[in-house]
Structure 1
Amino acid sequence: MYAEDEGLLHEGISDDPQIFTAILKSARDDAERATKRIANLFTAMRNGGAYGNDDIAWFNGGLFTIIDVPPLVADDLAALRDAAQKLDWRAIDPTIFGTLFERGLDPSARAPLGAHYTDVETIAKLIRPLIVEPLAAEWEAAKSLLIKAQGKGPRSAPHKAAMTAFQGYLERLKSFRVLDPACGSGNFLYLSMHALKDLEHAAQVDAELLGFGRQIGIETGPANILGLEINEYAAELARVTVWIGDIQWSQRNGQSIARNPILRTLDGIQHRDALMNADGSETEWPTADVIVGNPPFLGDKKMRGELGAEYTERLRKLYAGKVPGGADLVCYWFHKAREQILCGQAQRSGLVSTNSIRGGANRKVLDAIAEHLVIFNAWGDEDWINDGAAVRVSLVAFAATVPEGGAWLNGHQVGRINPDLTATATTENSLDLTKAARLLLNAGCAFIGGMKKGIRNLVWVLAPWVFVAITFKEWILVLDG
């Protein structure tokens, strides 16, 4: 329906561009006829070729490699006809696919995957410091050379230096890679790709206004993004999200879309476990400039029940000494992102977790990150709606060094961000409560106070007072004697 309304289905001009709608109209309530005709249309889209009197554009990119139209009934056909006729699918927002994915999951499957939808505003809080701001700063440095070279001849040293900087920046964007190792239906990847395309477009406009000519086309696109996803359906939705997002951006910005095929192959989005291979070995992540994502929210106590005892034991054994045994599932992604940066396989990372990562066993992964890397941007306690329930989340971005813009916590510039996502005014360790230790002077003379947690604890709270009362009564008797 999107391809039809966007005018992509036909190769060249057609008397009737609404070919999919026509199939649904002519089939009426005949599900078998509709299924056969839709399968024939998908075959033409896979290979490029004729469907009746119409020449169909070559789409594939992997989407139609397997053609398996699901069973349809009359009510399905009626719903499809209404949707095709009454809605303008050019305006579809690809970020809703996350909601479609989560709502389409069987309730028994939703929890093991830790499936949840990430809203655009939350994603932007990580994409800005991880992708937009660093690359925009690189362009400002290159742009300064273009400004200096204005009015100089093409053979002059300043002009050559400016062109080298300009072309180098475009090549930098073209080769930039963003990895989401728990990509779900692809919202992080879709918005990361948009950010890269916006940066390239802005640089080209600046260069043209400064007299350095117009470049042909936008090079950034689906090839810039990489993803890992354990659910096959979600991985396919992620590819569709990126494809539609790429076409929409091109149409809105006056850029030509890809042809032959229209859908570029997205082998970079892989259907596999991001933590452990089938043979029990640790999964390798592809090299990327930036790692982003929203790994599954699954607490330590629920892992065994939701993932299975056998898988959970193998996972904890594999990462023993690296991720605490009592840590939530999300912590494994933080650990692996840290390892990728330390070994030079990534420059920066930003991940979403529940706010429990700030303490207990979970915080040990942030302690390890802060030991060799720097947490340079974070949101410690943000609102989140997950399956109708209110959740509090933390967003954490870290790298080998603090970027030029400094460290930012909850939207405010700070000197240093501590592993518990508090901050100090300077880069010193002062007021870092994660460094607090037990006082030796209190050993043997300080004890935990009473806690109102039930009858047993109530007894412990009242016992000293009962003892005092009995002792006081004994002293009265002694004095009376």
Structure 2
Amino acid sequence: MNPTDFIAKWRASGASERSNYALFFSELADVLGVPRPDPATDTPEADGYVIDRVVTTESGATNYIDLYRRACFVAEAKQGSDAPEATEAEKLGMDAPKRRRGTARRGTRGWETAMQKAKGQARRYARALPEADGWPPFLMVVDVGYCFDLYADFSGQGKAYVSFPNQQSYRIMLEDLEDEEVRETLRRVWMEPLALDPQRRSVAATRDLAKKLAKLAKSLEDAGNESDAVADFLLRSLFTMFAEDVKLLPEASFSDLLRRYRDRPETASKAIRSLWQTMKTGGFDGGIGDEVRHFNGPLFDDPSAPELTSPQLDLLIEAADAVWTDVEPSIFGTLIEQALNPIERHRLGAHYTPRAYVERLVVPTVVEPLREEWEAAQAAAQLEEDAGNEAAARDELVAFHRRLCSVRVLDPACGTANFLYVTLEHLKRLEGEVLDAIAQYPGQQTLDMTGGLTVSPGQLLGIEFNARAASIARVVLYIGYLQWHYRTFGNADRLDAPILRDYRTIEHRDAVLDAADREPAYDEQGNRATRWDGRTMKPNPADPTELVPDPSARVPAYRYVDPKPAAWPEAEFLVGNPPFVGSQKMRGTLGDGYTEALRSAYKDEVPGSADLVMYWWHKAAEAVREGSSERFGLITTNSAHQKHNRAVIANHLGAKPPLSLAFAVRDHPWTYDPEGAAVRIAMTVGVAGEVDGRLATVVREERTDELGQSVELAERVGAVWSDLAIGADVAGAAPLEANRDLSFMGVKLVQPRGNVPGFTVTQGKARDLGLGAVEGAEAVLPRYRSGNDVTKTNRDLRVIDFFGMTAEAARERFPDAYQHVLTYVKPFRDQNGRPSRRENWWLHGESLPAFRQAVAGISRYIATVETSKHRLFTFLDADILPDGGLILVCLDDAYALGVLSSRYHVVWALRAGGRLEDRPRYNPTRTFQPFPFPAADKAQTQRIREAGEAVYRQREARREAHPSLTLTDVYNVLEALSDERELTKKERAVYEAGAVGVLRELHAELDAAVAEAYGWPNDLEDAEVIERLVALNAERAEEEALGRVRYLRPSHQNPDAGDQAGLDIEVASKPKKASAKKEPWPRSTRERIAAVRRAVERLDRPAAPKEVAKSFSRARADDVADVLDALDALGHLHRDEEGRYAA
């Protein structure tokens, strides 16, 4: 069927979508040249492209998607009518019309409401799809025989389906199918929807433009121009090129000007400077021979341009000829900053944050709450209209528009404004929807945002310490704002003058520290103090392949007078990505003076061990709790849930008034950096009060060429704790006296990295240094084990250990070993920022006297690798000195090894410990010390002891028989067996060599023995295990408060304590839930709508109005029913045949 015949046939169709849509979609597929839908099967999960795809919603209701294509779209069909609304007589059954009417008369507010309801239904059905299907990129609302409305969310979150491609062009009329370009768009929706993502074109274009500017920047700097002056010149140039392409300057005027002066480079700078002076004020410019609009803005306060050569003009012409309307502002700033920075230029384009990642935080922080408000405003308008109050209905929408245009969003570490730009675009999209809705009322204008009350860059506030980044941020927001107008209207010349308003919303200053003064620091001799610049490295003289800090790269050191927290401008929403500097690196990176001042300013609020980013987190949380902001969302390192940072989060969650985490991702990939280390982060969104939140977990990652990682998330709802987990509060578990003084980290050598010699030596080198020849050398050259020695191949190293000795004593008794440390370690330690490590250079950085005391008197101790994919435990002989990559438990009983090796402790460790990148970490304080061992009787203890020893002996025996066999390989295969995955040829060899089948049985027996000792079933889900352990921890803590302590090693922990006694402790399978408190019934209509919607979502099942009303104090069921009906009319809730409502 050709498009003309299809249009003619379906334009005359009747108004019954149930009768028509199946045939309509099938014939549409023929017109588009795509396959027709497949027949449905008995297994809905297998139906990837069908009509009437069955889905089961969260409330348990069965619904049908009118047309579904997996990973492409959900389509909801309606059929409106061109006939007038029914008369009163018709409503009474008199003179019934011959033609049936569908949803509503097309073009009316009722029809628009019905189309919006259909969108809500489509989104609800998309949410009900199996997790494996993911969120489709498109929702499509089809009025059969009339139009197609397209909504897209390319982020894969399903949280912000917005009009595609914009509010002006999202509706495709049936007649538009005559246009091949329109048919191609729909064909892509069907077959390759991600190809319609504008990022896929704009990212490549933006990277290419940045490379052109980088080449020009280098040329100008090589000619002797200061880098700052070059940067300012290129910022003005690129904005002018953009202004030309969006028709704010006469077509090709700037590029033609450059061409005309290409052979007269000596006057080109004057012509460019003249144009910029005219752009500042507006008027006629002789260089381009035309009128120039009034741009204004600080960008052109300094119109200077350097002297240019013909080759440099060629580079400018090449850049000007590019398509600047295709730039992606969300990454543009980062790439331009790299292009203009001589140090970062060599890595241009290799390190930036993909837009989808930015949206993953901006949407729950800013967009979702504003869209919820908008939906509440629509529902309030619907209630007013149902009551016949048309003016009041319009007023509800206008009031929300005023609110939207007054919202302020602050990024307190805005960099080059990628978060602010993405936020601005979403606000403009929402504004388009709002103005369209207002325009449906009589006497209202259609969409027009050229001036007056409108969303503008003036609502986007930023603080940035880097002056160049702040300048770029201003330009990015200008470009983003103008680009939105261009893409929406086809040009940007509708804007009122001046084009660039001087909003002064991007501040160049420190966001967390203020001080009365910053004074030069002086050393003890009265000389001006300097410090290493924190980034410049040089080859190590002992090993040129190893980089070490360059002591000659110095910057001035300062001291801060009367330091205090910096103030932030008031804003409803706070969002951003503060800098990542670990607490131990702050002095080296920021300087002693700044670090001390910062910690002093926040000494009662942020622990000194917290990372730099947590100072931003504290200020944002404080602003939300105190009410000056409504919500914040920040990126932190993925160590935010670890002890030193978690304390900041826990303080605010437990404060009065409290903070809650409305959204969190514990571990997420971040910057696109294919050649560098994987940067992983956490996301947290905070709101005031006690509310449940959504915890998103990465379930799949796939590298893409341009857009970073394609990340799939799974979400759970519940109380999100300070360790960024849902369920039992593991982070709140109390440290137990019974486990005290037993677990430690290994020694921190603090020595040169790489192949440079240090404290660790081979057996041969140890003999050269006196082992076996010098009396006492065994004590100062003990055996040494690292994490890789334990889980992979044992290198059989020794370590020089002068613990307890002065430098003089070490030199006198062991001169060869002393000289080795003097030669290789001291130069490295001389650059260390900690005085104790510089001055005690012959000693390990952390020598662990407490561990040495604890291991005395036992023949072996338990060790596990701090950061490891597999959580396994083993024994080490007591004379072995452990590396800092190992965590130690000073118990020699295989009973303890068995409990720690059991599934019950491993599940606990995965929740209680942190992560490094994507590998779990084990922490002595947070993982071991709160863990409650079972109250085992003697028989149970012996059974666990024997099972634990059997696991250990089995592994050691197989490794002794097969020296190349590693524990990592063995446990990889064990994991594959648990996943019921077919083994590869290599894995099959490991299975045989390691007797992994036997080891699996031994672990199963151990798990059963430990479960019996706890008195629990051996088939509990992981979440149930955690809940029971947290409950048992609470009971043990209460027990200890009453004086009953179950010491694990009383002879060491408390020599006067008696033997442990086992108690039969009953643990509830689930913690008790507090009875829900009723909310007061809000006064305003809009607040009632939001409250009712939350109540229905909390019930998580279909509920009648009377049941929903019980969630509130003094709420009449009839009032609640009115609100529920309005929400159903807009598709925000669904009313079933029994009159119950569900989200």
* Structure 2 length-normalised TM: 0.37
**d(CA) in 2 for partners of 1:178 and 1:69?**
34
What residue number does 2:574 align with? Answer: 291
Q: Which amino acid aligns with 1:284?
A: A
Shift of 1:146: 2.9
Q: What do residues 96-123 of structure 1 show as CA deviations (whole Å, max 9, x unaligned)?
A: 221221353343999xxxxx74321111
Asked if the contact 1:58/1:259 (under 8 Å) is kept, the reply is no
Alignment coverage as a number of residue pairs: 445
Question: Mean alpha-carbon deviation: is it higher for 27-36 or for 311-320?
Answer: 27-36
SS in 1 for 2:422: helix
Distance in 2 (CA, whole Å) between partners of 1:381 and 1:20 is 47
Is the CA contact 2:398–2:438 (under 8 Å) kept in the aligned structure 1?
no
Query: Does residue 382 of the first structure (1) align with residue 668 of the second (2)?
Result: yes
CA deviation after TM superposition for structure 1 residue 73, in Å: 3.4
Counterpart contact for 1:354–1:392, Cα < 8 Å: yes
C-alpha distance 447-344 of structure 1, shift in aligned 2 (>3 A): closer
Corresponding residue for 1:214?
445
Q: Is contact 1:177-1:226 (8 Å) kept? A: yes
Per the alignment, do residues 251 and 159 of structure 1 end up closer, same or farther by CA in structure 2, a change over 3 Å counting?
Answer: same
Equivalent in the alignment of 1:27: 261
Structure showing greater Rg: 2
Paired residues of 2:354 and 2:672 also in contact (CA < 8 A): no
Which residue matches 1:58? 294
Matches within 5 A, 1:265-304: 265-279=502-516, 280-304=563-587
Matched with 2:736 is 439
What is the one-letter code of the residue matched to 1:310? G
User: Structure 1: where are the runs of 5+ without partners?
Assistant: 11-16, 111-115, 425-430, 469-481
Amino acid at match of 1:269: I
Q: Is 1:125 the equivalent of 2:125?
A: no
Asked if 2 retains the 8 angstrom alpha-carbon contact of 1:251 and 1:257, the reply is no
Q: Within the alignment, does 1:261 sit opposite 2:498 as a pair?
A: yes
For 1:394, give the aligned amino acid: A
Q: For residue 206 of structure 1, report the CA deviation from its aligned partner.
A: 3.0
- The corresponding residue for 2:902 is none
Out of 358, 383, 407, the position equivalent to 2:694 is: 407
Q: Is the 8 A contact 2:664 2:683 kept in 1?
A: yes
Deviation at residue 275 of structure 1 after TM alignment: 1.2
CA shift, 1:258, in A, is 2.4
CA distance in 1 between counterparts of 2:494 and 2:426 reads: 18
Kindly indicate whether the alpha-carbon contact (under 8 Å) linking 2:581 and 2:612 is maintained by their aligned counterparts in 1: yes
- Is 1:396–2:699 an aligned residue pair? no
Inter-partner Cα distance in structure 1 for 2:413 and 2:261: 40
Alpha-carbon distance between aligned partners in 2 of 1:9 and 1:39, rounded to the nearest angstrom: 15
Tell me the alpha carbon deviations over residues 317-336 of structure 1, each in whole angstroms, 9 at most, x when there is no partner: 11112111122111110011
How far apart, in 1, do the equivalents of 2:858 and 2:340 lie? 56
Asked if residue 364 in structure 1 is aligned to residue 670 in structure 2, the reply is no
User: 2 CA distance for matches of 1:406 and 1:443?
Assistant: 34
Q: CA deviation at 1:277?
A: 2.6
Aligned to 1:474: none
Q: For residue 419 of structure 1, what is the aligned residue in structure 2?
A: 722
> Structure 1: which amino acid aligns with 2:382?
I
Moved more, 21-30 or 341-350: 21-30
Aligned amino acid, residue 284 of structure 2: A
One of 614, 626, 630 as aligned partner of 1:331: 614
Secondary structure in 2 matching 1:389 = coil
CA contact (8 A) 2:338 2:344 kept: no
Contact between 1:4 and 1:19, CA under 8 Å: does it hold in 2? yes
Give the superposition deviation at 1:243. 0.9
Provide the C-alpha distance between the structure 1 equivalents of 2:878 and 2:361, rounded to a whole number of angstroms: 58
Structure 2, unpaired ranges of 5+: 1-240, 517-562, 698-713, 748-784, 787-797, 802-847, 861-876, 880-1143
Please say which of residues 280-289 and 451-460 is displaced more in the overlay.
451-460
| 1:229 maps to 2:464 | yes
Q: How far apart in 1 are the matches of 2:595 and 2:857?
A: 43
Deviation at 1:214, TM superposition (A): 3.4
SS at match of 2:859: helix
2:492 maps to 1:204: no
The yes-or-no answer on 1:249 pairing with 2:484 is yes
Paired with 2:603 and 2:744, the residues of 1 have a C-alpha distance of 31
Q: Secondary structure at the match of 2:738?
A: helix
Distance across 2 between alignment mates of 1:43 and 1:327: 49
User: Residue deviations 1:182-225, cap 9 Å, x none?
Assistant: 00111111111111111111122234447673356331121211
Letter in 2 for 1:397: V
For residues 583 and 420 of structure 2, the distance between their equivalents in structure 1, rounded to whole angstroms, comes to 28
Give deviations 1:113-136, integer Å, cap 9, x for gaps: xxx743211111112112222111
Number of the residue aligned with 1:189: 420
Q: 1:449 and 1:222 mapped to 2: Cα distance?
A: 51
Supply the distance in 1 between the matched residues of 2:575 and 2:386 (Cα, whole angstroms). Answer: 42
SS at match of 2:671: strand
Give the Cα–Cα distance (whole angstroms) in 1 for the partners of residues 690 and 315 of structure 2: 53
SS of alignment partner, residue 107 of structure 1: coil
CA shift in 2, pair 1:251/1:443, >3 Å: closer
Rate the CA distance shift 1:212–1:351 in 2: closer, same or farther, 3 A. farther
Given the superposition, is the C-alpha separation of residues 3 and 414 from structure 1 closer, same or farther in structure 2, using an over 3 Å criterion? same
Identical aligned pairs, as a percentage?
36
Alpha-carbon distance between aligned partners in 2 of 1:432 and 1:327, rounded to the nearest angstrom: 21
- Equivalent position of 1:7 in the other structure: 247
1:408-452 C-alpha deviation (Å, 9 max, x unpaired): 43341321111111111xxxxxx21111222233457x5559894
CA distance, structure 2, for counterparts of residue 352 and residue 161 of structure 1: 41
d(CA) in 2 for partners of 1:450, 1:131: 44
SS in 2 for 1:378: strand
Distance in 2 separating the partners of 1:420 and 1:330? 16
Which residue does the alignment assign to 1:77? 313
Distance, in Å, in 2 between the alignment partners of 1:243 and 1:273 is 23
1:390 partner amino acid: A
**CA displacement at 1:281 relative to structure 2:** 3.4
SS in 2 for 1:390: coil
Letter in 1 for 2:736: L
| Contact persistence 1:29–1:77 (CA under 8 A) | no
CA, structure 1 residues 207+317, in 2 after alignment: closer, same or farther (shift >3 Å)? Answer: same
Shift of 1:32: 2.9
Contact 1:145 1:161 in 2 (8 A): no
Q: Distance in 2 between matches of 1:396 and 1:417?
A: 10
| Cα distance change of structure 1 residues 51 and 134 upon mapping to structure 2, 3 Å threshold | same
Q: Equivalent residue of 1:270, what SS?
A: strand
- Contact kept, 8 Å, 2:693 with 2:720, in 1: the verdict is no
Q: Equivalent of 2:637, from 354, 358, 374?
A: 354
Structure 2 distance, partners of 1:449, 1:134, is 44
Greater share of helix residues, 1 or 2?
1
TM-score, normalisation: structure 1:
0.84
| Candidates 131, 156, 160, aligned match of 2:391 | 160
Q: Return the letter of the residue paired with 2:341.
A: L
Aligned partner (choices 340, 344, 369) of residue 134 of structure 1: 369
Q: One-letter code of the match for 2:392? A: A
Contact residue 60 and residue 262 of structure 1 kept, 8 A? yes
Tell me the distance in 1 between the aligned counterparts of 2:424 and 2:446: 19
**1:440–1:298 distance in 2 versus 1, CA, 3 Å:** closer
Q: 2-side partners of 1:135 and 1:449: how far apart?
A: 47
Q: Which has the higher contact order (CA 8 A, sep 6+)?
A: 1
Question: How far 1:142 sits from its partner (Å)?
Answer: 1.6
Deviation at 1:19, TM superposition (A): 2.0
Q: SS of the residue aligned with 1:362?
A: helix
Give the deviation of 1:312 after TM superposition. Answer: 1.7
